[in-house]
Amino acid sequence: MTDPVSPERPAISYAQLLETNQLIQACADSTYWLCLTRTVQGSKLYPVSAYILLSYLNAFYRYPSLIRKVEASMPAEEIADRARQMGVKAQNSSIGWALPSFYLLGREYLINLGFLRPQDAIEDVITVMDFWKRFQLSWHRNDGHLTNADYNQRAQILPHSAVQRFAGEMHKVEPGGALSVAAQRFLATVSQYGFLVSAESRISLTNSGPYRLTDDSQLLMRDFMDLGETSLPWLDDIASDMPFNNLTVAMEVTGCHFHLVDDWGSFESTPEFTPDRLTGIGLYTSDTLSEGHVPVGMDTPETLTAMLDDLSDRAKAATDKLWLRMAEWSRDQLIDAGALSYYAICKEIAHIAGVFDPADWLEIDPRAERFRPLLSDEYADTALGELVGGLTLPSQQTAPHGMMKWSDKPTRVLTPLPLSVLNGAPFLPRMAPPMPGGSHLPAKNDRYQTTRGVLSLAQYNEAARAFVPKSCRPEENFRCETARAYPGCDR
């Protein structure tokens, strides 16, 4: 159990608790819907359930302190403004779902193990959910929603001017033509590479949109992230030939409607998005140090075709080498790679704020590490299944008259904060800061692939802190769609 009484009781208001509990419930509803409606991918190599549970625990013990460290350099809403200009891991599902949900699912698991009471770490919970809310409000400022789910599973993140730019710069794709063949090979090859990079998960790929182009065509944006020798230690030497860490593909799709782009960055369309429906394509790179999306091989259809083929060859070679590396790993190394892939899914907030530290994002905290012996495949599969789908854990049972949003059963995914703390009930406000952790994997080398070339960590952080993209300077950042439409609002 945690220490029950805080000698320094923080001032927490009724309004804070009400808002935080509403945000917790929004994550709970989204988590249940996403887990039950999306497909489940198994892995013959990775102990997926074990590493997911370990990542949740690491997130619980570390996210609050790391968020405070990030916000000491840059507030959540400014980070989101910058993230909107890039195709990096600071969008869906990284922040839109994973950041709050990993943290809260770790909390829920610990409550059921008896290591935590619902009122403990209350200040941490408020910190995480408040950061998430402000980031999401800024990230979604152009569509006015908090999540994709709130917008009927859409993510119209980009301003009109950006959509116009991507649509105008695209090269037309003829079914069966050279660009079409190169594009399909690129999408498949880099998807497979990203799947392996992220420990056989889909978190290195996300989609946003759709945006209406014509009555019969829509724009879908796809981001491939963490491709280069940047933040993940298992890509050291493996990805040195990948010239870009992040790649964004703008796709004009004709003859089908994307009726779902969810908070995991997955999409569904009617009819199915088949290769012959890809009628336009653009390719870009970006990161914390770039002036937004920078065109890659976009001069002519021929140069873009050559670039897509070259990147496909590089991704395939890196995939082969990465398979050989991972095939020799021990179970502990596989668990660490998976847990750190998940836990560090929101690490880009530290890169944007210029405070990234491998000790923060690439280590397992000792308080999470102590649960490793428990995480056999059999136990982890069952525990994770019950935590996010079965909802049979004691904390997830509500009063018998309760009817959960998506199931009508008297259950819930996540436990709200108890209001009784306002009557003086004892609680522990915060967990201790991150403890020196470790990993069974080699340490990250001091090479970070960026749009300014390969930098050391000190150089990368310093450059990030000093750089403000033109689009994020106040005179441009606050020229919103409303201001552009009404001359009297603009300057």
Q: What is the pLDDT of residues 161-212, one digit of tens each?
A: 999 999 999 999 999 999 999 999 999 999 999 999 999 999 999 999 999 9
Residue type, 317: A
Give the residue among 430, 393, 424, 388 at the shortest CA–CA distance from 406: 388
Pick 214 or 38 by higher pLDDT: 214
Residue 5 has pLDDT above 60, yes or no: no
Q: What are the percentages of helix, strand and coil residues in the chain, rounded to 5?
A: 50, 10, 40
Give the residue among 419, 420, 427 at the shortest CA–CA distance from 121: 427
Decide: helix, strand or coil at residue 31. helix
pLDDT of residue 161: 93
- What's the token pair of residue 261? 């782009």
Residue 415 has pLDDT above 80, yes or no: yes
Residue 280 has pLDDT above 90, yes or no: yes
CB atoms within 10 A of CB 343: 29
Section 269-292 average pLDDT: 97
Give the residue among 268, 270, 304 at the shortest CA–CA distance from 185: 304
- Region of poorest pLDDT, from 88-97, 319-328, 373-382: 88-97
pLDDT of residue 9: 67
- For 166, residues 6+ apart whose C-beta sits below 8 A from its C-beta are 158, 219, 221, 250, 282, 293
pLDDT of residue 39: 64
pLDDT of residue 295: 98
Residue 289 has pLDDT above 90, yes or no: yes
Residue 131 has pLDDT above 90, yes or no: yes
Residue 4 has pLDDT above 60, yes or no: no
Question: Which burial class, exposed, middle or buried, applies to 329 when counting CB atoms under 10 A from its CB (0-12, 13-18, 19+)?
Answer: middle
For residues 244 and 314, the answer to whether their CB atoms sit within 8 Å is: no
Q: What percent of the chain has pLDDT over 70?
A: 97
Residue 59 has pLDDT above 80, yes or no: yes
**What is the value of pTM for the model shown?**
0.95
pLDDT of residue 41: 62
- Region of poorest pLDDT, from 48-57, 296-305, 413-422, 478-487: 478-487
442 pLDDT band (50/70/90 cuts)? very high
The model's pLDDT over 298-342, given as tens digits with 9 standing for 90+, comes to 999 999 999 999 999 999 999 999 999 999 999 999 999 999 999
CA 322 → CA 147, 306, 332, distances in Å?
Answer: 34, 24, 17
For Cα atoms 334, 371, 109, give the angle at the middle one, nearest 5 degrees: 105
- What's the token pair of residue 464? 């990030």
Query: 17-21: long-range contacts at Cβ-Cβ below 8 A with a sequence spacing of 24 or more?
Result: 17/417, 17/419, 17/421, 17/422, 19/129, 19/133, 20/125, 20/126, 20/129, 20/130, 20/417, 21/416, 21/417
Decide: helix, strand or coil at residue 50. helix
Decide: helix, strand or coil at residue 438. strand
For Cα atoms 445, 449, 451, give the angle at the middle one, nearest 5 degrees: 160
Residue 95 is given by DSSP the state I
Residue 8 has pLDDT above 80, yes or no: no
Residue 1 has pLDDT above 50, yes or no: no
CA 192 → CA 5, 202, 236, distances in Å?
Answer: 50, 9, 18
